[in-house]
Amino acid sequence: QADVFTFDPGFTSTASCESAITFIDGDKGELLHRGYAIGELASKSHYLEVCYLLLYGELPTAQQLEDFTNRVTNHTMLHEQMMQFYRGFRRDAHPMAIVCGVVGAMSAFYHDSTDVNDPWQREVASIRMIAKLPTITAWAYKYSVGQPFVYPSNDLDYASNFLRMCFAVPAEEYVVDPILSRAMDRIFTLHADHEQNASTSTVRLAGSSGANPFACIAAGVACLWGPAHGGANEAALNMLREIGSVDRIPEYIAKAKDKDDPFRLMGFGHRVYKNFDPRAKVMKESADEVLALLGVENNPTLQVAKELEKIALEDPYFVERKLYPNVDFYSGIILDAMGFPTSMFTPIFALSRTVGWIAQWKEMIADEKQKIGRPRQLYTGAAHRDYVDVENR
């Protein structure tokens, strides 16, 4: 039975909720989903199987997995009218703005699965979101690059379908590279859930008011966008590119340590991990493997990342503060090598995390004791005072 956690000595707080989905030991750098270690799931399982585990609590039998996969595969299409919704955005809109808007708009298209008090509607909404987020996300990318939308194909697995919807064009045949598909699936798995992080807590708080599931997940997308959270993968790659070469690393290490400089090493540090983020370890191995298989192992950004990690982990400032690379430090290098622009990194994080948000939302909704969330405050404002007319101020 996991104990109540103290998140930070200077900011001790009891747990915000009880949950049986994900366990993190920040000191040991341990991450379990329903008791299974993330390293084992990333190497032996795959994303839809991890989705089943997060949602239903157990690894599926072969039949259960086949049924679940078929349900997801057969719900990947979007209501055709939603295509018009995209056309209301500017072409240069950030894909996260589009994903956030379209997910919220699902409340307006899928009325028959918005009643949170109906377990069947909750299940339908959950499958619809897991199935449609790849389509929504891929179409946000296509819209941003001015290419025609590509419909999902029921012949492809989840990750391959997403890659094809992103990179296929009508002018030529698109064959999914199994290396990219495996790497994509592993990135989905590594981002699937992560206990009560900021965006998951946002989803829970929104859900506690009885808001419909699509609105709750849209709230999670909005929160994830911040550079201190899911937006860090985009910021980390931009930082590594700005550093550009290993001889410029000391300059950025100094900036990160300078209290008067707001700059922080993006992809470094964590609210809970005071040891290596276990996902970062798997992501680093995956970066080596994928870039070598793609023949770009000498990618300068990867060299900068590895040298930056090495120098930071030997620097007393980072060691004393227990700052290690997190999930966002290497993920952008892989996504960049796969052909994604940095603006697509956080939408891919949101796509992956949708199952975690849904599993946590379902767990909360199913708890009859659940009440609306209502955080309190320490009031630091003026004591009671009488009104003063404007002529006397």
For residue 149 the two structure tokens come to: 């939308």
Q: Is 321 in the site for ligand SDX (CB under 6 A)?
A: yes
Identity of the residue, 114 or 197, whose beta carbon is nearer to ligand SDX in the bound complex = 197
Identity of the residue, 158 or 225, whose beta carbon is nearer to ligand SDX in the bound complex = 225
Residue in 267, 278, 332, 347 binding ligand SDX, rule: CB under 6 A: 267
Q: CA-CA distance, 228 to 224, in Å (whole number)?
A: 9
CB 266 within 8 A of CB 227: yes
Identity of the residue, 18 or 261, whose beta carbon is nearer to ligand SDX in the bound complex = 261
Per the annotation, the verdict on 328 as an active-site residue is yes
Q: Is 150 in the site for ligand SDX (CB under 6 A)?
A: no
Indicate the DSSP class of residue 250: H
Q: Residue 190 Cβ, how far from ligand SDX at the closest point, in Å?
A: 9
Q: Is 270 in the site for ligand SDX (CB under 6 A)?
A: yes
Q: Residue 272 Cβ, how far from ligand SDX at the closest point, in Å?
A: 6
Amino acid at the residue 228: A
Question: What are the C-alpha distances in Å from 33 to residues 40, 52, 235, 299, 373?
Answer: 10, 11, 27, 33, 25
Q: Applying CB under 6 A, which part among 87-95, 237-245, 292-300, 321-329 lies near ligand SDX?
A: 321-329
Q: CA-CA distance, 283 to 288, in Å (whole number)?
A: 9
Q: Which of 350, 13, 14 is nearest to 193 (CA)?
A: 350
Q: Is 22 helix (H, G, I), strand (E, B) or coil?
A: strand
x/- map, 215-254, ligand SDX, by CB under 6 A: -------------xxx-x----------------------
Q: CA-CA distance, 213 to 206, in Å (whole number)?
A: 9
Q: Is 326 in the site for ligand SDX (CB under 6 A)?
A: yes
Question: What are the C-alpha distances in Å from 206 to residues 133, 354, 364, 373?
Answer: 19, 15, 11, 8
Q: Applying CB under 6 A, which part among 12-20, 260-268, 285-293, 381-389 lies near ligand SDX?
A: 260-268
Contacting residues for 177 by C-beta, under 8 A, at least 6 apart? 163
Q: Applying CB under 6 A, which part among 35-43, 124-132, 266-274, 372-380 lies near ligand SDX?
A: 266-274
Q: Applying CB under 6 A, which part among 205-213, 215-223, 263-271, 294-302 lies near ligand SDX?
A: 263-271
Question: What are the C-alpha distances in Å from 323 to residues 48, 275, 331?
Answer: 32, 7, 18
Q: Indicate the burial class of 352 (C-beta count within 10 angstroms; 0-12, 13-18, 19 or more).
A: buried
DSSP string covering 182-194, please? HHHHHHHHHTS--
Residue in 71, 182, 271, 306 binding ligand SDX, rule: CB under 6 A: 271
- Catalytic entry in 270, 315, 336, 389: 270
Number of residues near ligand SDX (by CB under 6 A): 21
Q: Is 194 in the site for ligand SDX (CB under 6 A)?
A: yes
Per the annotation, the verdict on 33 as an active-site residue is no
Q: Is 268 in the site for ligand SDX (CB under 6 A)?
A: yes
Residue in 49, 234, 328, 336 binding ligand SDX, rule: CB under 6 A: 328
Strand partners, 32: 23, 37
Q: Is 265 in the site for ligand SDX (CB under 6 A)?
A: yes
Residue in 266, 280, 337, 344 binding ligand SDX, rule: CB under 6 A: 266
Q: CA-CA distance, 379 to 356, in Å (whole number)?
A: 34
Q: CA-CA distance, 333 to 298, in Å (whole number)?
A: 12
Identity of the residue, 125 or 272, whose beta carbon is nearer to ligand SDX in the bound complex = 272
Which of the residues are catalytic? 270, 328
Positions that interact with ligand SDX (CB under 6 A): 194, 197, 228-230, 232, 256, 264-272, 321, 323, 326-328
